[in-house]
Amino acid sequence: MLIVLTSEKPLQDEAQQINNLFDAGLEILHLRKPTFTIDGYRSLLNLIEIKYHNRIMTHQFPELTLEYTLRGIHLQEQARLDLEDALAVTTKVYKNKGFSVSSSFHSIEDIKNCPVDFDYVLLSPVFGSISKSGYEGKEFDVTALKETVIGMGGINENTLQETYKLGFKGVGVLGGVWNTKNSLTSFLEIKQANDQVIKAKN
């Protein structure tokens, strides 16, 4: 599984860049814009081709899942913790409507102790972050976990093989795509390397 998270900041021609990634075979995009209002999210979604909406997970404004028929919702760590006892019900409501639900974690213990089964979880940082300076990698070994764990943090074509060796079922990329000269070229390099690693595993 190869996931790309959007840049936190607005980018020039961002929707077109996102469409290009989908055209090139992107499976899942996580739409994460912490500074955007719901109308900011809508403005970006309106410029992304409708045929790709069902590949988008939103990190905020879960009502957009229905409005745009998105893939589902992603609960960031604080949002998951804030739900407390309502977490299981909230997750079930969205799953019953046919939406995917994922969440973010920063420790293996927290994944083990979470009472909810998500479609997949993001665990970071695996390696030193490309997008956040001073965010040192922990090289988690998740081979013993039954959950579908996606590795994030410092993921690019050079760290893919090591990520899968640690037991991850997929990778999430942010800086490896957006902090480069050409997002499409970088994505294609990562996708090609990812496909080769998966093929070799199987």
pLDDT at 184 over 70: yes
Distance in Å from the first CA to the final CA of the chain: 14
Q: For the segment 144-159, what is each residue's pLDDT rounded down to a tens digit?
A: 999 999 999 988 888 8
- Residue identified by tokens 């997929």 is 170
pLDDT of residue 130: 63
pLDDT of residue 11: 94
Percentage of the chain exceeding pLDDT 90: 81
Task: Return the minimum-mean-pLDDT range out of 59-63, 100-104, 198-202.
Answer: 198-202
Band of pLDDT at residue 135, cut at 50, 70 and 90: low
Query: Could you check whether the bond before residue 10 is cis, i.e. omega within 30 degrees of 0?
Result: no
Q: For the segment 27-46, what is each residue's pLDDT rounded down to a tens digit?
A: 999 999 999 999 999 999 99
pLDDT at 123 over 70: yes
pLDDT of residue 201: 76
For the chain, domains (ranges, CATH) are 2-201 (3.20.20.70)
Across the chain, mean pLDDT equals 93
d(CA 84, CA 137): 28
- Residue identified by tokens 């109308």 is 39
137, 125 Cβ separation under 8 angstroms: yes
* H/E element, 57: strand 56-58
Q: Phi and psi dihedrals of 84, rounded to 5?
A: 50, -120
Orientation of helix 14-23 relative to helix 38-47, angle to 10°: 50
Number of neighbouring beta carbons within 10 Å of residue 37: 11
Report the b/e string of 58-92 with b at 16+ CB within 10 A.
bbbbbebbeebebbbbbbbeebbeeeeeebeebbe
76, 59 Cβ separation under 8 angstroms: yes
- Positive/negative CA dihedral, 82, 84, 87, 90: negative
Amino acid identity of residue 74, one-letter, is H
d(CA 202, CA 190): 18
Structure tokens at 114: 């979470």
